[in-house]
């Protein structure tokens, strides 16, 4: 197949542009100037250049890039492997740094949990997987499809820019390189022409009338000295290289392709900086984990068992605080005597067995008799119920910090320590706590024990509240007809 040379394609394209712009509004004589192989002050060569003055007096410029079969690489896209590789590594390292930071913040899969070696393998594995995943999933993006003619147009500003190709350089409109060229021309606002073998020009894509790039492209001045046959050195080298390449039978092999077409590829400095930042972040978190003290993880069942063992070795707290100090109520007027209800129901087995029938006790009788304190030298017992049904015993020293008059809610009086303990245990089983103390703590030679509810009350009103509370408790526990008496005690 006979292919049109590049200079013929260039001339045909410029002739089409003269006719295409002849109806545009212009100032003065309206003369249109066309030139071939014009070089900018930055060294970029435009195969074709067209200019005229607009009605507003401003210059209008259009440039043309002509491509033949010999210079096919100018319009044939290539995958930018370096950019793709650095993008993939930057994304992989950033994702790995995020995952590693998250696991450290929430204490998941840390070095102390899975070990140093597994942490390193997990880190490298995640980075490799994420890098490869991005590489194979996004390599088809247009960002990585580099077309030399398109990228060259982006380096300088012109009002409209065109690409002219020979219609024989691609094998049809469905060719993947042709489709990509059309797509990028539309996206970037460039025009596309196709020159047939009979030199007829087909308009494939018109350039965008609206500026696509804004002020991102440089305004380079075109050098008039390079017009016509006075071509720049780059233009001459380009033509010579094209001729040599067309005669090379191995021109399609990678090792013989010119690297000149890759000079407009994008930089990957940003990707390198992101990768370095991610690696520094990973290194910092890795070092921080190594400095942290390891966590000790206990089996849940073992922890529950340890709590149960601890519970067996300790005593629970009292439902109500046990206070040994005197309750002082200086603002309440105390009554000297309290009424007592002597009506008693049938005694329980323990009460019938241990009740001695003595009624001349200072704590019994028609009236309330004050008890004088005795020297505190005895070692009599004071019994206090614990919340778990057990009892604790003390000597009379437990009462030595009490002074003045107090009141207690009496259950009964027993002749011995064993009888008092039996009574306390019996009521404790029913969920009714009782306490007791020996009258010998107050009256010399008295060996009997007073069993009472709650602790000592500092006033009658407090004792009355205790009576009400325990009457409700007795009723709830099914103890019926039990009469409760209030007694007063005098401490030195």
Q: What is the 3-state secondary structure (H, E, C) of the chain?
A: CCCCCHHHHHHHHHHHHHHHCCCCCCCCCCCCEEEEEEEECCCCEEEEEEEEECCCCCEEEEEEEEECCCCHHHCCCEECHHHHHHHHHHHHHHHHHHHHHHHHHCCCCCHHHHCHHHHHHHHHHHHHHHHHHHHHHHCCCHHHEECHHHHHHCCCCCCEEEEEEECCCCCCCCCHHHHHHHHHHHHHCCEEEEECCCCCEEEEECCCCCCCCCCCCCCCCEEHHHCCCCCCHHHHHHHHHHHHHHHCCCCCCHHHCCCHHHCCCCCCHHHHHHHHHHHHHHHHHHHHHHHCCCCCCCCHHHHHHHHHHHHHHCCCCCCCCCCCCCCCCCCCCCCCCCCCCCCCCCCCHHHHHHCCCCCCCCCCCCCCCCCCCCCCCCCCEEEEECCCCCEEEEEHHHHCCCCEEEEEEEEEEECCHHHHHHHHHHHHHCCCCEEEEEHHHCCCCCCCEEEEEEEEECCHHHHHHHHHHHHHHHHHCCCCCCCCEEEEEEEC
The answer as to whether 25 is a domain residue is yes
The answer as to whether 464 is a domain residue is yes
The answer as to whether 303 is a domain residue is no
Query: What's the confidence (pLDDT) of residue 319?
Result: 55
The answer as to whether 455 is a domain residue is yes
The answer as to whether 159 is a domain residue is yes
> What pTM, to 2 d.p., does this model score?
0.50
Whether residue 372 sits in one domain with residue 261: no
From residue 445, alpha-carbon distances to 233, 378, 397, 491 in Å are 134, 9, 17, 17
The answer as to whether 70 is a domain residue is yes
The answer as to whether 310 is a domain residue is no
Query: What's the confidence (pLDDT) of residue 9?
Result: 93
The domain boundary residue, chosen from 213, 248, 266: 266
User: Which portions of the chain are predicted below pLDDT 50?
Assistant: 224-232, 234, 242, 245-246, 248, 250-258, 318, 322-378
Split into its structural domains, the chain has a count of: 2
Q: Please tell me the number of Cα atoms within 13 Å of 306 on its side-chain side.
A: 6
Whether residue 262 sits in one domain with residue 374: no
Domain that holds residue 401: 349-491
Instruction: Read off the pLDDT of residues 175-226 as tens digits, 9 standing for 90 and up.
Output: 999 999 999 999 999 999 999 999 999 999 999 877 777 667 777 777 643 4
222-223 β-sheet, strand order:
201-205, 191-195, 160-166, 59-67, 45-53, 33-40, 222-223
The answer as to whether 73 is a domain residue is yes
The domain boundary residue, chosen from 244, 266, 288: 266
Whether residue 355 sits in one domain with residue 260: no
Whether residue 203 sits in one domain with residue 58: yes
**Which is it for strands 160-166 and 78-79: parallel, antiparallel or unpaired?**
unpaired
Q: Please tell me the number of Cα atoms within 13 Å of 434 on its side-chain side.
A: 24
The domain boundary residue, chosen from 266, 287, 321: 266
The dihedral through the CA atoms of 79, 81, 82, 88 has a sign that is positive
Which region holds residue 237: left if phi is over 0, alpha if psi is between -120 and 50, else beta? Answer: alpha
């Amino acid at each position: 197949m006979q292919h049109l040379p590049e200079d013929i394609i260039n001339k045909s394209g410029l002739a089409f542009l003269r006719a295409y712009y002849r109806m545009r509004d212009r100032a003065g004589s309206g003369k249109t100037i066309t030139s071939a192989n014009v070089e900018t002050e930055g060294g970029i060569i435009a195969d074709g250049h067209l200019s005229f003055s607009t009605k507003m007096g401003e210059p209008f410029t259009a440039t043309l890039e002509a491509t033949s079969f010999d210079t096919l690489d100018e319009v044939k896209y290539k995958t930018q492997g370096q950019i793709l590789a650095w993008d993939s590594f930057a994304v992989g390292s950033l994702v790995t740094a995020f995952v590693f930071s998250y696991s450290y913040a929430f204490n998941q899969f840390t070095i102390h949990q899975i070990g140093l070696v597994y942490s390193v393998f997990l880190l490298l594995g995640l980075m490799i997987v994420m890098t490869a995943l991005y590489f194979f999933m996004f390599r088809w993006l247009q960002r990585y499809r580099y077309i030399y003619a398109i990228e060259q147009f982006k380096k300088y500003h012109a009002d409209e820019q065109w690409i002219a190709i020979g219609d024989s350089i691609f094998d049809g409109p469905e060719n993947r390189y042709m489709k990509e060229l059309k797509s990028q021309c539309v996206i970037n606002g460039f025009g596309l022409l196709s020159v047939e073998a009979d030199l007829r020009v087909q308009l494939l894509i018109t350039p965008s009338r609206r500026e696509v790039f804004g002020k991102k492209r440089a305004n380079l001045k075109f050098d008039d000295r390079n017009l016509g046959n006075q071509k720049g050195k780059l233009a001459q080298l380009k033509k010579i290289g094209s001729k040599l390449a067309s005669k090379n039978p191995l021109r399609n092999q990678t090792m013989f392709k010119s690297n000149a077409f890759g000079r407009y590829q994008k930089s990957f400095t940003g990707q390198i900086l992101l990768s370095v930042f991610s690696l520094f972040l990973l290194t910092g978190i890795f070092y921080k984990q190594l400095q942290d003290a390891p966590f000790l993880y206990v089996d849940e069942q073992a922890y529950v068992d340890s709590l149960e063992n601890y519970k067996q070795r300790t005593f629970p707290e009292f439902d109500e605080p046990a206070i040994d100090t005197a309750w002082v109520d200086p603002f309440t007027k105390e009554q000297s005597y309290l009424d007592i209800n002597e009506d008693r129901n049938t005694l329980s087995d323990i009460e019938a067995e241990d009740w001695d029938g003595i009624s001349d006790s200072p704590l019994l009788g028609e009236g309330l008799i004050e008890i004088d304190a005795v020297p505190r030298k005895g070692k009599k017992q004071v019994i206090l119920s614990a919340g778990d049904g057990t009892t604790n015993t003390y000597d009379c020293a437990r009462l030595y910090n009490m002074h003045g008059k107090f009141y207690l809610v009496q259950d009964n009086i027993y002749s011995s320590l064993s009888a008092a303990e039996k009574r306390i245990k019996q009521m404790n089983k029913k969920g009714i706590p009782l306490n007791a103390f020996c009258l010998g703590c107050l009256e010399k030679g008295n060996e009997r024990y007073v069993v009472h509810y709650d602790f000592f009350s500092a006033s009658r009103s407090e004792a009355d509240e205790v009576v009400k509370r325990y009457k409700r408790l007795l009723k709830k526990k099914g103890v019926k007809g039990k009469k409760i008496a209030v007694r007063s005690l005098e401490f030195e």
